[in-house]
Amino acid sequence: MNVAISDIAHDLGTDVHGVQTAITLFLLTMAALMIPGSKLTDRVGRKRCLVAGLAVYGAGAVIGALAPGLGFLILGYSVFEGVGSALLIPPVYILTTMLFTDVTSRAKAFGLISGMAGVGAAAGPLIGGLITTTVSWRASFLLQAAVVAGIIVLSRRIVDPAPPDPTRSFDTFGAVLSGAGLFFVVVGILQAGNNNALLALFLAIGGAFLAWFFAHIRSMERAGKEPLLSTGLFRVRTSNLALVTQNIQWLILMGISFVVSVFLQVVRGYTAIQTGLVFTAATAGVLLSSLAAERLAGRRAQRTLVAAGFVTTLSGIALMLGFSQISSNLFVVLLPALFLIGTGIGVMLTPSVNVVQSAFPEKLQGEISGLSRSVSNLGSSFGTAIAGTILVSDLAHGNRSYALALVAISVIGLIGLGAALLLPRGPAPSATA
């Protein structure tokens, strides 16, 4: 999507902001529904949720490929693929936690998963750019549908380690409140620079819904009922700090991806394939560092790895910000900068996830997995919304808006580094309730 922004906007008769909205709404849909999706795994079963999510995602890919306008693209990509992702992602993390019980083997498993997730996010621009340039951006959606079909076939070999429990309750009202709150917060951020009155209004409405949501789940717990999300998940300081780092990691990755893609295509006139080639450096960095997760976990504390990842990532952003202002050859600057960013993200993805998941017993894995993925995808939404809005609001002055967007991401990255330094040196005690 990022590298095909110009082609999609031209083909569908929209602009960069329209495509940005579709991307942000996709990420927001995932974030809003990830917790409800994770709760359904206990009730319906992890494998069934995985397959159902893949089917919905595949249907969305087909709708996106055939979209005659922005509205249908949002329906297929933002809604269907967003819902499908919210159903299929939690089972992956829940199954991994249940099947790998010790820290070392779990670190290896999460390293592979996080590595593939990071490589997918980083390699997507290259694959999408190649397909967009040689065929059409619509063909990339059809490729997604084909890949999903293959995964559904392979998923027949998966064995769910625990049977589903149809008697488990589902907090529908809580799901509506949390989804509405996140929706208004992110849509409010998209109004920044366009309508400050709407920005304040949407943020206030979103905050009110989220406050209502937390009051609702506390009320249900007092009544002895099972809420959508247990308040006990927020009582573990180590997990809270690791969730902050997860949110900011994905905010940086998606924010940088969108900002660099738009800047290269709209301001510098790069083609989709040229833009995709630039991101091969980030792909290499994420792949190398993520696949080394098991070895790194055995030699260094989780806190050390997360903090080192932030330092490396911020160094890459600083390089990109400083030297791009004085060098006319962007490849010379962007390739090493994106390699550093990709390496830093890859180093800290696995330990952050491992810290969160390992802080809770098996009976809470469904809830914490959904919360963890929701927080990460909310970070992706914020990255595209915040950095993208700063950039898009002043594309006429491309270099200036590009620099401001990078500065905003850097400031948020420093907050993530601060949270990482507050993590304990050793393993955190597991919550019991």
Tell me: the pLDDT tens digits for 301-324?
A: 889 999 999 999 999 999 988 765
Alpha-carbon 431 to chain mean position = 26
pLDDT string in tens for the chain (433-residue length): 888 888 999 999 998 889 988 988 888 888 788 888 888 888 889 899 999 999 999 999 999 999 999 999 999 999 999 999 999 988 888 888 788 877 677 767 876 786 677 667 667 778 888 898 899 999 999 999 999 999 999 998 888 888 888 888 889 999 999 889 988 888 888 776 667 788 889 999 999 999 999 999 999 999 988 888 888 888 899 999 999 999 999 999 889 988 888 888 888 888 888 888 888 888 888 878 877 766 777 778 889 999 999 999 999 999 988 765 555 566 778 889 999 999 999 889 888 888 888 888 877 776 787 788 788 888 888 888 888 778 776 665 667 888 888 999 999 999 999 999 999 876 555 554 4
Does 402 lie in the same domain as 377? yes
Does 105 lie in the same domain as 244? yes
Does 307 lie in the same domain as 203? no
Query: Cα–Cα distance between 189 and 19 in angstroms, integer?
Result: 16
Number of domains in the chain: 2
CATH number at residue 102: 1.20.1250.20
pLDDT digits (tens, 9 = 90+) for 337-380: 999 999 999 889 888 888 888 888 877 776 787 788 788 888 88
Does 247 lie in the same domain as 215? no
Does 277 lie in the same domain as 262? yes
Does 197 lie in the same domain as 332? no
The angle, 0 to 180 degrees and rounded to 10, between the axes of the packed helices 330-358 and 237-262 is 160
Q: Using CA of residue 100, residue 101, residue 106, residue 108, what is the dihedral sign?
A: negative
Domain that holds residue 216: 171-227
Q: Report helix, strand or coil for 338.
A: helix
Query: Cα–Cα distance between 350 and 254 in angstroms, integer?
Result: 17
